[in-house]
Amino acid sequence: MIAPVSLLARLILILALPNLATAGVRTDWDPQRKVRGWLLDQEGLHLELRQIEPDRVRAFFEARGFSRPIQDRLARACVFQTVARNRGDRPLALDQHRWRLDDGRPPHLKEAWLPWLKGQGAPKAARIAFRWATFPTRQVFAPGDYNWGLTLFDRPPGTRFALRLHWRQGGEDREATIRDMQCIPIAP
């Protein structure tokens, strides 16, 4: 017969649950580019989110035909290079609509940016390039699959935030939180 779980053991488990949500998260620093990255390895999902400097964002979008005002707006949109891999043995589904920032909003998804870009007069070819350069809003990864792209959080430069991730692995919901992420500060 298994002994009932004591009240103390339950309390310890309850207090430990928030820490389990950040298990497998680590940060790194690129001293050459002076950018930080956040890496999550949990339950088959390997996710890397790395800051991209505003000058690199501006240059990338300039090369794709965006006007200077649009380049400047995107450069201030808290842009991260996002890389996802399925290291598990079952299909993994990511849906950024289910991701949440600490204020409850999802990242500023490409579906919201595209009408804005069109309204700003961005050429069709540039909008197509934007669509292809941004991380897929929804994707199912077979075991071993990976993909990458830009994620725009649309937070002010220097802002710190938490990102709650949701995904499905083999038909089961998964969740993790990456705390203390930061948009690159921009010098005045």
Taking residue 4's Cβ as centre, other Cβ atoms within 10 Å add up to 8
Under the banding of pLDDT at 50, 70 and 90, the label for residue 171 is confident
For 7, left (φ over 0), alpha (ψ -120 to 50), or beta? alpha
Each residue's pLDDT tens digit, 126-162:
999 999 999 999 999 999 999 999 999 999 999 999 9
Q: Whole-model pTM?
A: 0.84
Of 84, 60, 74, 98, give the one whose Cα is nearest residue 153: 74
Q: 170: buried, middle or exposed (CB in 10 Å: 19+, 13-18, 0-12)? A: middle
Residue 5 is predicted with a pLDDT of 44
Q: What is the dihedral of CA 85, 105, 162, 26, to 10 degrees?
A: 0
Token pair of 134, please? 């941004």
How many C-beta atoms lie closer than 10 Å to residue 154's C-beta? 19
pLDDT digits (tens, 9 = 90+) for 94-115: 999 999 999 999 999 999 999 9
71: tokens are: 């380049």
- Helices (H) and strands (E) in the chain — how many of each? 5, 10
